[in-house]
Amino acid sequence: METFKKLKMFYWPYKRYFIWSISFLLIVTAITVVYPIVLQFTIDDVIRGGQYQYVPYLALGFVGIMIIKGIATYFNQYLGDMFGIKSVYSLRNSLYEKLQFLPFKYYDNAKTGDLMSRLTADVEGFRFFLSFGFAELIRFVLLLGISFSVMFYYSVPLTLVTIASLPFLAVAVYKFDKTVHPAFRGIRKSFGRLNTKVQENISGINTVKSLSREGFEINKFNDSNTDYKDHYLKTSNVWAKYFPLMEFIGNICVVTLLSFGGYLVINNQVTPGELVAFFSLVWYIMWPIMNLGFVINMFSQSKASGERLLEILEAEEDIVEKQNPIKKDRLLGHVEFKDVTLNYTEDDEKALSNVTFNAEPGKVIGLIGATGSGKTSITQLITRFYEPTSGQILIDGKDVRDYSLHTLRNNIGFVLQESFLFSSSIKANIAYGNPDASMEDIIDAAKRADAHEFIMELPDGYDTMLGERGMGLSGGQKQRIAIARSICIDPSILILDDATSAVDMKTEFKIQGALKEVMKGRTTFIIAHRISSLKHADEILVLDQGVIVERGTHEELVKNEGPYKRIYDIQYKDQKTVLQSQTG
């Protein structure tokens, strides 16, 4: 029960629904045990004793009991559902909230489909046991307690024989539990992998179709689906093996009791009515014990689901605020790196090694280098997406860890290389980081990003609803909306991570002209592969394998015979060749 203890905070606040549900369950169980007593009275006193005057009263009493049982059953089930539904509502909210605050490091290894599986199938599996499983366990205990009390009243010898046979059934149930739980955990993991496969395929369907890899993807899905099927068949095999065994043990017990009970009736130690009532009570015990396999089945699924949910809830949040962080509406934007080194994991090579630079407010810093040289790592440290392994990062003379995350990130405009847009209106996407932005602010940000013109050409203008991930727009259009979104928060620090990579040269020139006005008074970091995107920077840092190998202005670096000059020659020689061939 350790898993349920850890998740207690989510269901215990709603214990009143559970307690009331169990109260009605107690009524239902008590009425259930009354049936054999009525049956014994009917056989021994009414039929054998000839007291037929009691028949109308028994009929009316039976109808009344059935009505009470029906009402009690309704409230038992409804309140049980309320307990489960309200509990997982709170749990699901906490899981989603936790996912918002988990660091980038967590998502580096997490699979989207698996996370979706945990927030849907695993949460539902946990809810099902809260709504029905707990109640079934308590019903089992109540039926055993009340039934054994009545059975002892009817016949002590028969009851002792019944008790003697139960350990065999209990051993089978225990072995079933030990076998079925790992099987259900395997099912949950397999389902997460299957979900991930579907999610990746749908997200990358353009790539699949463009390379005619439909058959390959079908085979990959079939492998995942086969794995899921095999895990389920393995569990079904466990169920098919143990349930008949438990039923066989129960039936052996019944046959033994029938023989011994018949002997007692012949010797007038038990009346026929008492024997019939006793056998009814025996089934009230046997069926719950055999049904315990189903409850254990639910428990194992719920426990496996709970363990997967706890993996999210207990995941380490290594990006945390200090107790009394600095909170400011506006930062100046003075960024300084002091001997900063970064390892994403202990086993990986250094992403950054002893990086030092000083970016004063309003300055433009260009970052250039081969893929994997550490350009993006620098900007992700400024925003505290990751923590440096060693060294110090300062903003306005204060360590970035001294600021609240809201203050820090609300002063940094980040335009990623791959622009992500939400399935909402263009207006809502631009104002996403600044919900209080007026329509004038939104339009101004769009104009500065050179997005206003194409937005106004759309059927509903700024109210145009976008498809998933901005479907319906070109790559350049999506990137310009992302730039507008960043501008709309009026940041002190602006980070453009290859922000114009998806636009043509003409559009890039227009955007950069607009951005020059936006950059005034802001510290700007430009990551680019095109020298044309950062040649106007106040300082350019050339990186190679996490080390700054050159720094200076465009003019200074072009004069050096270093890496920057080689990149410059490659790019501009290619352009000259194209121009010569066009004029040639």
Domains and CATH numbers, the chain: 2-313 (1.20.1560.10)
Q: Edge-to-edge strand order for the sheet containing 364-369? A: 412-415, 493-497, 523-527, 364-369, 539-544, 547-552
The neighbour count for residue 566, using CB atoms within 10 Å, is 10
> Looking at residue 205, what is its pLDDT?
67
pLDDT tens readout for residues 103-120: 888 887 777 777 887 888
Q: CA-CA distance, 204 to 208, in Å (whole number)?
A: 6
Q: CA-CA distance, 132 to 363, in Å (whole number)?
A: 63
- Name the DSSP class of 463: G
The distance from CA 500 to its chain's CA centroid, rounded to whole angstroms, is: 33
Cα R_g (the chain), whole angstroms = 36
Q: CA-CA distance, 177 to 529, in Å (whole number)?
A: 59
Backbone angles phi, psi at 495, to 5 degrees: -120, 120
Ranges of the chain with pLDDT below 70:
177, 181, 199-200, 202-212, 289-294, 417-418, 468-471, 499-514, 517, 573-584
> Looking at residue 552, what is its pLDDT?
92
**C-alpha pair distances (Å), 341 with each of 109, 316, 527:** 22, 22, 19
Backbone angles phi, psi at 557, to 5 degrees: -75, -30
Helices assigned H by DSSP within 204-332:
205-210, 214-266, 272-313
Instruction: Provide the residue count of the chain.
Output: 584
Q: Which residues pair with 493 in a beta bridge?
A: 412, 523
Helix (H) or strand (E) holding 95: helix 55-101
Q: CA-CA distance, 275 to 258, in Å (whole number)?
A: 9
> Looking at residue 582, what is its pLDDT?
46
- Name the DSSP class of 356: E
Q: CA-CA distance, 310 to 302, in Å (whole number)?
A: 12
Q: CA-CA distance, 81 to 79, in Å (whole number)?
A: 5
Close Cβ partners of 558 (under 8 Å, ≥ 6 residues apart): 564, 565, 568
Backbone angles phi, psi at 362, to 5 degrees: 85, -10
